[in-house]
Amino acid sequence: MSSFVVALDVGGTSMKGGLVGRSGEIILTDRRVTPRDKGPAVVVGAIRSFIDELAVACGGTPAGVGLAVPGLVTADAALYSANIGWRDVPAADFVPLDVPVMLGHDVRTGGLAESVLGAGRELSDFLFLPIGTGIAGAVILKGEPYGGTAGWGGEIGHIPVFPNGETCACGQIGCLETYASASAVGRRYSARIAATPATSGTPTSLATPASSAPLVSSATPASVASSAPLAVPVTAEQVAALTASGDPVAREVWDDAVEALSLALATYTLLLDPSAIVLGGGLAESGRLLSDPLAERLQSRLTFREAPPLRSAVLGVRAGMLGAALLGWRAAGVPDAGATWPLDVLKSPRVA
Ligand SMILES: [Zn+2]
């Protein structure tokens, strides 16, 4: 058997690929643009080419291929993705002839990596919750991600938390994602500022210098920000910095996000009794600014039981690719791959 697998994490904008050895050693990593605008057939071809290139770089045929893809997916087929536009693509279409392949849902594959290799290594049942542009979770039961009957399991971002709240992009009302995704936090702060009558030029909040991150893009002159603050895109990272510095509008938006998360996590906790909640993604990088009030709010909602501890994901942007490597080894007939892979090996070399 070949000594490596090809692992690919396919996102809507880019594909992160790697060659991963039998002991978890990351031989090579690379990245390609996902040619989504050229249609699903071109994306499938680009994935196939990327796999070929990675395999050639290692001078041989891989033992297996693992692919993490968005949308509805089984181990054998990418059934549907609104993001990429494909329907019913068999796994074999992505790989060279006779190479065993296994597909996984992007978030669940990241959850598998956190379960086998990362923050959930010694846990059996937990929720992996990456909070980024959107929110989706990986429900981990007995160490494995659970996707439900049709593959819709884990869509915690679309749990209605405020029944009379704002309309979500999905069409439902008051979804968690509408309040607590990184993009929602930035968007809701911008909307609040836009709705505030400008009495003295730049809102104090946007003019306040940040200690660690610039609040206004360096490409945006202060005078522009002053005359047209509404046009300045605000990131969740900036709202976090403003919240930490005491900005009242940012604090409100942040509190709404924490409140929404605490409601969804209380429901999850009562339903599935997880041993931990593993937070990942961009918003979790704000650290205790998020986890401290969230832990407190979650516990306050639960009267007859302890809230599960909140943990930080440890694999970061590598989670999807490493999970895909586990799938690749499973496809190759090594179901227990990852059990002995040391974390320091997984962190080196730096993933592109
Ligand atoms: Zn929704």
- How far is ligand 1, taken at its centre, from the CA of residue 150, in Å? 18
Whole-number pLDDT of residue 221 = 36
1-17: pLDDT as tens digits? 789 999 999 999 999 99
* pLDDT one-digit tens code per residue, 168-225: 999 999 999 999 999 999 999 999 999 887 654 444 445 444 444 433 333 333 333 3
**In this predicted model, what pLDDT tens digit does every residue of 320-338 receive, in sequence order?**
999 999 999 999 999 999 9
What number is the average pLDDT over the span 269-288? 96
Residues 157-164: contacts with CB under 8 Å, at least 24 apart: 157/181, 159/264, 159/267, 161/259, 161/260, 161/263, 161/264, 162/260
- pLDDT for 248: 97
Q: What is the mean pLDDT of the chain?
A: 89
Distance, CA 7 to ligand 1 centroid (Å)?
A: 30
Expressed in angstroms and rounded, the spacing between residue 200 Cα and the centre of ligand 1 is 37
% pLDDT > 90, the chain: 81
Give the model's pLDDT for residue 199: 55
Predicted confidence at residue 228, as pLDDT, reads: 43
User: Ligand 1: distance of its center to the CA of 182 in Å?
Assistant: 14
CA torsion through residues 178, 181, 187, 192, sign: positive
Question: Worst-scoring range by mean pLDDT, 25-29, 87-91, 112-116?
Answer: 25-29
Q: Give the pLDDT band of residue 343 (cuts 50, 70, 90).
A: confident
Q: Ligand 1 center to residue 173 CA distance, Å?
A: 7
Alpha carbons within 13 angstroms on the beta-carbon side of residue 223 total 0
- pTM of the predicted model, to two decimals? 0.88
| Structure-model confidence comparison of residues 342 and 207, the more confident one | 342
How far, in Å, is the centroid of ligand 1 from the Cα of 172? 5
Strand partners, 17: 8, 30
For range 29-50, the mean pLDDT:
96
Tell me, in angstroms, the distance from the centre of ligand 1 to residue 343's CA: 35
CA of 176 to the centre of ligand 1 (A): 7
Report pLDDT for 57. 87
- Tracing tokens 């490597």 back to the chain, one arrives at 325
Q: What's the gap in Å between 32 CA and the centre of ligand 1?
A: 30
Ligand 1 center to 137 CA (angstroms): 13
How many whole angstroms from 110 Cα to the centroid of ligand 1?
21
**Ligand 1 centroid to residue 201 C-alpha, Å:** 35
**pLDDT for 232-278, tens place per residue?**
679 999 999 999 999 999 999 999 999 999 999 999 999 999 999 99
Residue 352: is its pLDDT beyond 60? no
Which range has the worst mean pLDDT, 49-53, 103-107, 229-233, 324-328? 229-233
Q: Which of 217, 95, 72 is nearest to 151 (CA)?
A: 72
- For residues 308, 321, 169, 153, the Cα torsion angle rounded to the nearest 10 degrees is -50
CA 241/CA 289 separation, integer angstroms: 9
Distance 135 CA to ligand 1 centre (A): 10
